[in-house]
Every structure is written in structure tokens, then in C-alpha cells.
């Protein structure tokens, strides 16, 4: 396959091709579920053809290409094609319902939406641009458009600060914000991480994360493409499949739930014997899970810390101590500081404060939300992450909590405000408070405390049923408690800490 490899004008495309230039025959993707392998030449030829197909649909540089479809090589090719075409890739969680989708389409105004055939009618009712479909097996109108497209595509030149992706992240107001990530943000992070974690062409990464969030797309996929290593590209996480594949892999990246589920399986020690690296992130990895993994496998998990707005900020070292319960050091060229959340004054070693970050990885702002953007940056360019933590004398960052009212369940972020808004609108409900409590599988799970009107007509099951087609499943409360009143402090503010303590065991029993 004769593909063009001159992507020099385009930062992210160049970073993603860096490891495979001149190695078109090397293995890029093992599509285990389809029994197919693809070399780099084939994948990038596909990407170029997809870029032509996008342009034929009317996608111009700077336009948004939105995707809500099951993980597949075709979705990966839409990502690469979008980058080549100089447009912005906007992936969405497949769990989002039509109600949630409406906000994303209205806000991003995509020139093209690629969706599952089952969602086509809904998307056509919302979108003003083109719509194409792709099913998990690759069939759909996208495949037809690609079949009509020409081969070969010269990457559209982009400046370092041009938009490459918009990733939606839920917000404290209940309205999702689009984080604008540039070519330089993503290219620099991919290069830094592949070096820091010593990815080489000989690696084989087990890729079982979704590719609609930072972890699966910007970390796992971008790092592998940058390093030129193969990925075993799985549609979803399944512990038994992963155990069977480990003997021919070298590395895996996952959220803590991956590790706790794998720990419960027999045969982990033998399967993982030849692995080189296990990376965890997106949610806190308990020190006890870190230690249990070391005891079971002999490998120390490498924990790192990032977010949608910044890609990766810190990492435990490759060589040296991977300290359980910490997220390691600021990555090269990235500055981390801890400040007093009220005054913004920098704090000393081991003092708890707000974590702030500055560096080439930090996004340029929220899509069409300049005021919200301004609120979250300091005058000297540091981004206020909303996480609380410390930095030790020897530079290890520890996350101790969050100043933002956020629940992280199985690596997915959930903002209570959105759920409270929907519950409060239900008949018979006076008010509600949504909070996270420990969950044995997902780390945290969602619980709703609801105050019913005087007739006491509100039932937990009815609330859960009413939310079922309004909210993505992972956001739906796993328990609902009906109360006479919410606990409040003297200022009248709801005390979620009291609720969290009172119902700490409700999902673990």
C-alpha cells in the first residue's frame, strides 16, 4: 500500500504518524473480535480515504465532525481522517440519550454527525449538517461514502493552536462544556507520554478503553500511534478476553475497575508474567489495589493523573518508585502547583490545596464559553483543575479530594447538578441531593436523596424509572433514599458530606 507520509505541515497528524513512517508493513491493529490484523500502511491509507469522504460530505477545515458510535476501526479512521482534513473531532459517549445528544449537537453545530444506524432517525431530527451511519461491524452509509472516495490525501496545514478535538465534559452547572484541544496540546502529550513510559515499536498494547474519552483516545491510541506500536483493539473491557491476550501483549492501560475486576480472576499471575507495563488513571487507584496487584503479579501499576481539559499532567516514574496512592511527578515541560483555593497563594510541601497546571498540554478554553473559561484560569496562565492535593518534598503529587462536586464512577465523570435538576422536575418532589458513595466495582456510585411532598407519593423506583430514558445509564442513581428533609448547615447549604457518611455502605452491602 503506497501511502503518503509527508504530514510535516500538520502537528497532530505528524505526531500520530511519527512511529510508523517507513514501516507500512508493521502491525498497527489487531482487531481480535473480527479476526483481522491491519498494518500501518493500511490504516493510514484508510485514514486518507476517510478524509476524502469527509470533505465530499462538506467538511471544511475548522468544522466539527461528531461521532457517537460503537468502538471500531472505522471510528478510529474517522478520527484520523478528521485530523488530516483539518477539522475538529468531537466524540461522544455511546451511553448518552437523545436528550443529552440534543445539547451536544446544538452546541457544536457539527458539519457531519456519524452515528449508529439505530440512532440515525434521532440524529437527523437534531442535526443541520450531514449524517452518516456506522454499526459496530463497520457497515452503514459511512462505508458507502468511503467506498466512493478517492485514495490519498495531503494533510491540511494547521497551526499549533488550531483546534484538533472538542471533548465534552460535564459541568457544575449541569450543562456539558466542550473542552477545546489543539494540535499542539495533543501532539505534545502523545510525544511526552510515549517517551516517559518507554513505548517502542516492539510494544503491543491491550486497548480495551472506549475511544470517546481522553484515556482511550489521547493516551492509549495517540501514544501507540506516536510510538509505532501495535494495539490489540477490543470493542470493550472483558477480563477473560484480556487474560487470554496478555501472553502476546506487553502493556495495558485502564481505569481502576479494570484492575479490581482482573484481580478477582484466576490465572492472572501466569497471564501477566511477560507484560512490561500496566498504567492506571481517570479515577483514584486505591493504595490497597496497587499493593494487591503487586502481590498477585509482581508488577507495580504505574498511576498517572489527567483530565479532559489537559490530557495528562503527572505520572509515576517508569524507573524509580511508583508510590501507591500518589499520581507521581509533573510530566516534562508541565508545571504543577498547589494553591490556597481562596487566595490563590502557592502552598508549601505537603500542604493541601487546589491543584493547578500550566503547560503545552493545557486546553485553550471551553467552546463558546469565554466567561467560564476565564473563571478557571489564573492570570499567569495556570488552569484550576478543581482537584485537591499535595506535593511532597520529593515532588510526588497526591490527590486527596475534589473541590468540584464531582462523582467518578468506573472512570466516568458525573456531575450531581444535572441529575438533581431532572429529579426536582418530577411531580411530587420538593428537592433532591445527588452524591457519590463507595461502590465495590466502580469505585464510586451515584445515590440520590429525595424529599417528597406532604402526600409522600414519591417512590424511589418511580424516580429511577422516570430517569431511565433521560440519562446515560452510568449516571442513573444506583440507590434512591426518600427523606423528610436534607441535612443543612447553619448557612442553609446542603451537607453532602453528611449524606455521604450516612449512606456510605448503601451500595456495598
Residues 6+ apart with CB under 8 A from 456: none
Q: Which of 71, 46, 48, 30 is nearest to 229 (CA)?
A: 30
Q: Which of residues 82 and 316 has its CB atom nearest to ligand AMP in the complex?
A: 316
Which option in ligand MLC, ligand AMP, none does residue 169 bind, with CB closer than 5 to 8 A by kind? Answer: ligand AMP
Residues 89-108 contacting ligand MLC, CB under 6 A:
none
Backbone angles phi, psi at 19, to 5 degrees: -80, -10
**H or E element that contains 374:** helix 370-375
Angle at 141 between CA 138 and CA 142, to 5 degrees: 60
Q: Which three cell numbers stand for residue 110?
A: 457539527
For 170-196, give the secondary structure using H, E and C: CCCCCCCEEEEEEHHHHHHHHHHHHHH
Residue 221: which of ligand AMP, ligand MLC, none does it interact with, CB under 5 to 8 A by kind? none
Does residue 41 touch ligand AMP according to CB under 6 A?
A: no
Site membership for ligand MLC, residue 216 (CB under 6 A): yes
Site for ligand MLC in 14-73 (CB under 6 A): none
Binding partner of 178, given ligand AMP, ligand MLC, none, CB within 5-8 angstroms per partner class: none
410 binds ligand MLC (CB under 6 A): yes
* Helix/strand/coil percent split, the chain, to 5: 35, 25, 40
Nearest-angstrom CA–CA distance, 266 and 259: 13
- How far apart are CB 454 and ligand MLC at their closest, in Å? 32
Q: Give me 200's grid cell.
A: 517502542
Does 46 sit near ligand AMP (CB under 6 A)? no
Among the listed ranges 26-34, 118-126, 206-214, 429-437, the one in contact with ligand MLC (CB under 6 A) is 206-214
Contact pick of 305, 366, 382, 435 for ligand AMP (by CB under 6 A) = 305
Query: Any idea which residue has 473563571 for its cell?
Result: 375
Is there binding between residue 386 and ligand MLC (CB under 6 A)?
Answer: no
Give min distance, CB of 131 to ligand MLC, in A.
26
* Site for ligand AMP contains 214 (CB under 6 A): yes
Distance (Å, whole) CA 79 – CA 81: 5
Please tell me whether residue 65 binds ligand AMP under the rule CB under 6 A. no
Q: In angstroms, rounded to a whole number, what is the distance separating the alpha carbons of residues 257 and 505?
A: 18
- Total interface residues for ligand AMP by CB under 6 A: 18
Q: How far is the CB of 444 from ligand AMP (least distance, A)?
A: 11
Asked if residue 199 lies in contact with residue 223, where contact means CB atoms within 8 angstroms, the answer is yes
Looking from the CA of 273 toward its CB, the CA atoms found within 13 Å total 5
Instruction: Give 78's contacts (C-beta < 8 A, 6+ positions apart).
Output: 50, 54, 65, 67, 89, 114, 134, 142
Is 272 within 8 Å of 259 (Cβ atoms)? no
Residue 215 interacting with ligand MLC (CB under 6 A): yes
| 410 contact, one of ligand AMP, ligand MLC, none, CB 5-8 Å limit per kind | ligand MLC
Q: How far is CA 286 from the centre of its chain?
A: 20
Q: What is the grid cell recorded at 163?
A: 483546534
Site for ligand AMP in 84-123 (CB under 6 A): none
Q: Which stretch binds ligand AMP (CB under 6 A): 12-20, 70-78, 277-285, 470-478?
A: 277-285
Q: Which stretch binds ligand AMP (CB under 6 A): 16-24, 117-125, 303-311, 436-444?
A: 303-311
Q: Are 423 and 434 in contact (CB under 8 A)?
A: yes
When the beta carbons of 19 and 216 are compared against ligand AMP, the nearer one is: 216
CB of 504 to ligand AMP, least distance (A): 19
Contacts of 337 (CB under 8 A, 6+ apart): 346, 355, 356, 382, 391
Give the one residue of 24, 48, 74, 387 binding ligand AMP; rule: CB under 6 A: 387
The secondary structure element, H or E, covering residue 127 is none
Residue 350's CB is within 10 A of a number of other CB atoms, namely 11
Q: Does 307 bind ligand MLC (CB under 6 A)?
A: yes
Nearest approach, Cβ of 348 to ligand AMP (angstroms)? 22
Among 166, 221, 262, 408, binds ligand AMP (CB under 6 A): 408
Measured from the CB of residue 322, what is the shortest distance to ligand AMP in angstroms? Answer: 12
Q: Which of 10, 68, 308, 432 binds ligand AMP (CB under 6 A)?
A: 308
Q: Residue 301, interface with ligand AMP (CB under 6 A)?
A: no
Decide which of ligand AMP, ligand MLC, none touches 210; Cβ closer than 5 to 8 Å per partner kind: ligand MLC
Name residues contacting ligand MLC, limited to 271-290 (CB under 6 A): 281-282
Q: Which of 133, 257, 385, 390 binds ligand AMP (CB under 6 A)?
A: 385
Among 51, 50, 82, 48, residue whose Cα is nearest residue 65: 82
Compute, in degrees rounded to 10, the torsion defined by CA atoms 485, 488, 492, 493: -110
Q: Does 327 bind ligand AMP (CB under 6 A)?
A: yes
Give the binding site for ligand MLC (CB under 6 A): 209-210, 213-216, 236-237, 255, 257, 281-282, 306-308, 409-412, 442, 473-474
Amino acid at each position: 500500500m503506497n501511502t503518503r507520509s509527508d504530514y510535516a505541515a500538520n502537528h497532530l497528524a505528524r505526531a500520530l504518524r511519527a512511529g510508523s513512517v517507513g514501516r507500512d508493513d508493521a502491525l498497527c491493529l489487531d482487531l481480535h473480535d473480527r479476526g483481522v490484523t491491519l498494518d500501518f500502511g493500511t490504516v493510514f491509507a484508510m485514514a486518507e480515504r476517510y478524509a476524502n469522504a469527509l470533505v465530499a460530505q462538506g467538511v471544511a477545515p475548522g468544522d466539527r465532525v461528531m461521532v457517537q458510535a460503537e468502538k471500531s476501526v472505522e471510528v478510529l479512521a474517522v478520527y484520523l481522517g478528521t485530523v488530516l482534513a483539518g477539522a475538529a473531532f468531537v466524540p461522544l459517549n455511546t451511553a448518552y440519550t437523545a436528550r443529552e445528544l440534543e445539547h451536544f449537537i446544538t452546541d457544536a453545530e457539527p458539519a457531519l454527525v456519524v452515528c449508529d444506524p439505530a440512532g440515525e432517525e434521532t440524529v437527523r431530527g437534531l442535526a443541520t449538517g450531514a449524517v452518516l451511519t456506522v454499526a459496530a461491524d463497520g457497515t452503514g452509509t459511512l462505508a458507502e461514502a468511503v467506498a466512493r472516495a478517492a485514495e490519498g490525501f495531503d494533510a491540511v496545514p494547521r497551526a499549533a493552536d488550531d483546534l484538533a478535538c472538542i471533548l465534552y465534559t460535564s459541568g457544575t452547572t449541569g450543562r456539558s462544556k466542550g473542552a477545546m484541544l489543539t494540535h499542539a496540546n495533543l501532539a505534545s502529550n502523545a510525544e511526552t507520554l510515549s517517551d516517559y513510559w518507554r513505548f517502542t515499536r516492539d510494544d503491543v498494547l491491550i486497548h480495551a478503553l472506549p475511544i470517546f474519552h481522553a484515556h482511550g483516545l489521547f493516551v492509549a491510541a495517540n501514544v501507540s500511534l506516536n510510538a509505532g506500536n501495535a494495539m490489540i483493539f477490543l470493542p470493550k473491557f472483558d477480563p477473560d478476553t484480556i487474560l487470554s491476550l496478555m501472553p502476546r501483549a506487553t502493556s495495558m492501560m485502564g481505569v481502576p475497575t479494570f484492575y479490581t475486576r482482573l484481580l478477582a480472576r484466576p490465572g492472572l499471575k501466569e497471564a501477566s508474567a511477560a507484560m512490561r507495563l500496566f498504567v492506571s488513571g481517570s479515577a483514584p487507584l486505591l493504595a490497597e489495589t496497587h499493593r494487591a496487584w503487586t502481590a498477585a503479579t509482581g508488577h507495580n501499576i504505574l498511576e498517572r493523573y489527567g483530565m479532559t481539559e489537559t490530557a495528562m499532567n503527572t505520572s509515576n516514574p517508569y524507573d524509580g518508585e511508583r508510590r501507591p496512592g500518589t499520581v507521581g511527578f509533573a510530566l516534562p515541560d508541565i508545571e504543577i502547583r498547589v494553591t490556597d483555593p481562596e487566595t490563590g497563594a502557592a502552598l508549601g510541601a505537603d500542604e493541601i490545596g487546589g491543584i493547578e497546571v500550566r503547560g503545552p498540554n493545557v486546553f485553550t478554553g471551553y467552546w463558546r464559553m469565554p466567561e467560564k473559561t476565564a473563571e478557571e484560569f489564573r492570570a499567569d496562565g495556570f488552569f484550576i483543575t478543581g482537584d485537591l492535593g499535595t506535593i511532597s518534598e520529593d515532588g510526588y503529587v497526591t490527590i486527596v479530594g475534589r473541590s468540584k462536586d464531582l462523582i467518578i464512577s468506573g472512570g466516568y465523570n458525573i456531575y450531581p447538578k444535572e441529575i438533581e435538576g431532572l429529579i426536582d422536575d418530577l411531580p411530587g418532589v420538593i428537592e433532591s441531593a445527588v452524591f457519590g458513595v463507595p461502590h465495590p466495582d466502580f469505585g464510586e456510585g451515584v445515590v440520590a436523596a429525595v424529599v417528597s411532598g406532604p402526600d409522600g407519593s414519591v417512590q424511589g423506583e418511580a424516580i429511577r424509572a422516570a430517569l431511565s430514558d433521560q440519562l446515560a445509564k452510568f449516571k442513573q442513581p444506583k440507590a434512591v433514599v426518600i427523606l423528610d428533609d436534607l441535612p443543612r448547615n447553619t448557612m442553609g447549604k446542603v451537607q453532602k458530606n453528611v449524606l455521604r457518611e450516612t449512606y456510605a455502605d448503601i451500595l456495598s452491602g
